[in-house]
Amino acid sequence: MRSRLLGIVLALVVLVLLGMGVPLGRGVAQTQQQQMFLDRLTDTTRFASVAQRPFIDDQPEVLDAELRRYHELYGIRVALLGMEGQVVASAPDDVDVSSPEVSDLVSGALAGRQPVAPELVMPWESTELVLAEPVLEAGEVRGAVVTFSPTSKTRAEVLLWWSVLLASSLLVLAVGVFAALPLVRWTLRPVRRLDDATGRLLGAVVAGQPVEPVGSSDGPPELRQLSRSFDQMAANVSDVLAAQRAFVADASHQLRNPLTALKLRLSNLEGQVVGEGVAHQVAALEEADRLNRILDELLSMARAGAPSVDPVPVDVDRAVAGRLSAWQPAAAARDVHLVLDGEPGGTALVPPRGVETVLDALLDNALKFTSDGTLVRVDVRRRDGVVRLSVQDEGPGLAPEELERATDRFWRSPAHQNVQGSGLGLALVRQIVERVDGSVRLESPEGAGLRVTVEFPAV
């Protein structure tokens, strides 16, 4: 944007310079040419006056010596013409007046017309200034005087003036550039700050960290007002998300006690309920357990998004080994084998207990949906500056159109509504991974099952 704004300023400066320089340059050329015309007209008129008596006496050759001296001194060719347009005296002797342009001027002079200023001659046009003056005696035309003046000196002077104008214009343009640069920087400084703040806003809001204000100490008043509005908007968004996280955490804590009491009362009814009430009591206990799991996951999500939780280097291999060991009894109860594959992952940048929480959610899902007597593969690899952790089961998997929605909060596939769960596990995984600018990818491998791959920045 700075180059475009600077280009606009320079374009305006160039237009102003052209608007002033072109007429000024043309005026300089006209002035120089007018001075030359008046000077040569004076000489031509003098020769026409001097030639009156020789023409009356029919002795124009008496002017040959004066014409030669004039030609030798100034390099200007001069010719005296009779009434028939013939050359009667000239210096040098081979003056040619037969060209169409000269013939027209001679015809005008013999008709009694006075010389007029020619059209503007450009510096690159190597032409001569030709003037034809009638020789008059008592108002009667006796002949004509024609002068051929070289214009090289005048054209050189015009070119010199134009060079001065061009150099002055370039100097003004350079000064304009140096003067415009601070102005453009001053104008765009709030814009750059807004751009940087916009890039930091998403990461800060997602991480729950304070949003650094843009500030409005300099720049145009309109952009300073925009910066203040942006700061207010960013602060409001940060406050709203912080209040949302606080509400989720507080609600999870506050609901836990009454839910525990409700579950205890339902348990105390065991043996007191008979008939069809037994089935309702069992269903109520299951719903209480489900609500308890949802509260646990909501509290985990609130903790994962807490602003005070900063990512730390974590030994991925140790964390994976510990969770596999903890989940081994649950897998053995289903005759499911947990298989660790891949290579040492090393250290990754993860929120505290982030690897454990992610692996717990992925293994919980895998054991829910995989069949008895199958395998759940856990793969760890380190590639291209990231540590990849994937869990693959041999369950029914998800349809292609469901893969993108699987990480939404509380979303569950219509085909799996009979399986216990809250729909928060993969959402929690995504939130933890996004805290460190990682990624989550869901795939349906060939055959059956679901493979979930998460990537953490390697350290």
In this structure, is residue 73 part of a structural domain?
yes
- Give the pLDDT score at 388: 93
The domain that contains 106 carries what CATH number?
Answer: 3.30.450.20
CB atoms within 10 A of CB 234: 21
80 close to 145: Cβ distance less than 8 angstroms: yes
Residue 326 lies inside a defined structural domain of this protein = yes
Give the tokens for residue 125. 């046009």
302 plus 360 within the same structural domain = no
Same domain, 351 and 416: yes
- In this structure, the answer to whether residues 262 and 286 fall within a common structural domain is yes
Helix (H, G, I), strand (E, B) or coil at 147: strand
Q: Do 153 and 13 belong to one domain?
A: yes
Instruction: Decide if 90 is inside a domain.
Output: yes
d(Cα 272, Cα 403) in Å, to the nearest integer?
46
* Paired tokens of 422: 């809250």
Neighbour tally for 423: CB within 10 Å: 17
**Same domain (yes/no): 55, 88:** yes
* Final residue in a domain of this structure, among 158, 174, 195: 158
- 452 versus 221: which is more confidently predicted? 452
pLDDT-based confidence at residue 317 (cuts at 50, 70, 90): very high
The pLDDT confidence band at residue 381, using thresholds 50, 70 and 90, is: very high
**DSSP conformation letters of 254-294:** HHHHHHHHHHHHHHHTTTT--TTHHHHHHHHHHHHHHHHHH
Q: 380: closest CA among 344, 434, 355?
A: 344
24 and 142 in a single domain? The answer is yes
- Are 143 and 234 within one domain? no
Only one residue has tokens 């304009």, namely 176
Q: Which residues on neighbouring strands pair with residue 91, listed in sequence order?
A: 78
Cα dihedral sign for 103, 106, 112, 118?
positive
CB 301 within 8 A of CB 374: no
Please state the φ and ψ torsions of residue 264, each to the nearest 5 degrees.
-65, -40
Residue 176 lies in a domain: no
Peptide bond between residue 92 and the one before it cis (omega within 30 degrees of 0): yes
Total domains present in the chain: 3
pLDDT in tens, 146-196: 999 888 888 888 888 888 888 888 888 888 888 877 777 777 777 777 777
pLDDT tens digit string along 246-278? 676 666 666 766 777 777 777 877 777 777 777
Q: What are the CA-CA distances from residue 125 to residues 76, 78, 150, 238, 325 (Å)?
A: 18, 22, 11, 73, 97
DSSP 13-57: HHHHHHHHHHHHHHHHHHHHHHHHHHHHHHHHHHHHHHTHHHHHT
In a domain, 193, yes or no: no
Domain contains 432: yes
Do 303 and 316 fall within a single domain?
no
Q: Are residues 101 and 11 in the same domain?
A: yes
Answer whether residue 293 is part of any domain: yes
65-124 pLDDT, tens per residue?
888 898 888 888 999 988 888 888 888 888 888 888 888 888 898 888 888 888 777 778
Q: What is the DSSP string of 118-134?
A: -PPPPTT---EEEEEEE
Supply the range of the domain harboring residue 90.
Answer: 2-158
CB-CB contact of 437 with 369 (8 Å): no
> Same structural domain for residues 301 and 317?
no
Q: Are residues 40 and 126 located together in one domain of the fold?
A: yes
132/206 Cα distance (integer angstroms): 91
Do the domain assignments include residue 262?
yes
Q: Quote the tokens at residue 228.
A: 């203040």
Claim to verify: residue 325 and residue 269 sit in the same structural domain: no
Q: How high is the mean pLDDT of the chain? A: 82
